[in-house]
Amino acid sequence: MRTTILMLFTALTAGWFQPPAPATPTGACFLLLDTANGAVLRNPDAVCDTRLPPASTFKIPHAIAALDSGVIKGVDEVIKYDGTARDYEAWRRDHTLASAMRYSVVWYFQEIAKRLGMGREEYYLRRLRYGNADPSSGLTTFWLGGSLRISPIEQLTFLRRLYDAELPVPDRVMRAVMDILIQPDGFIVNAAGEQPFDAPWPSGTQVSAKTGSTTFGDHRAVRWIVGHVQRRDRAWIFVSCVTGADDIDSTAAIDLAARSLRETGVL
């Protein structure tokens, strides 16, 4: 017994023994910021402070970096489809930044990552203060279940800075990205096509949004939708996130957001 205890003590003091990492919480978060008064609703808030992979919601800061750096010249610059087999029909064609954002085209933004390179990816993550700002797991995959992590509350803060024109990039860059996030009336569009979003919306409503979905860790998944609602002279920023086993519904965050926006009278 004394030998076993001594061996364990030696392992601990030598740094050989590493306790298991704490499990990532399972649950949901919905955040709603009223831009008129700064009030924030958190309901539910089980994972609002938990850092998770951003998945395709990272396309928002990625597009900002692409335009600000000049690796693409504008939202209509075409990158040619190389013919590689892709999961979604919408990905099997040439794309502009605007259409790649709308249909969440992973290969397009992987090309953006190659053009930026690791140095500039790190630079923009730090400059934009985006989550843990860590792209170390791989240049073309770090946001897809890799090292980059961001919490729902950090997503809300980032979007507020974007829509308040407080990011450290030119106004034209922020405006261009905000424009390509605008959704068609009654729908959210992503790789799977048009997803109904609690239509009909009140007259004069404009919804801007980006979804995200990925797996990570030990059979874990996260679903996101982040965005902005403008209704005449009022505006809100929202973040919806659901995380759990890798079989959670692909529209879980969209459904949570639509229900919550309706219940709060935003839509």
Catalytic residue positions, numbered: 56
* Cα distance between residue 202 and residue 186, in whole Å: 10
CA distance 178 to 172: 10
Q: By the 8 A CB rule, do 255 and 223 touch?
A: no
Instruction: State how far the alpha carbon of 96 is from the alpha carbons of 79, 81, 130, 211, in Å.
Output: 6, 11, 24, 18
User: Which residue is listed with tokens 């996030």?
Assistant: 181
The residue ranges of DSSP E strands in the chain, in sequence order, are 27-34, 40-45, 187-190, 193-196, 205-216, 220-231, 234-245
CB atoms within 10 A of CB 88: 14
Return the closest-CA partner of residue 235 out of 170, 131, 153, 159: 159
Cα–Cα dist 56/106, whole Å: 8
- List the beta bridge partners of residue 216: 220
Distance CA 257, CA 29 (A): 10
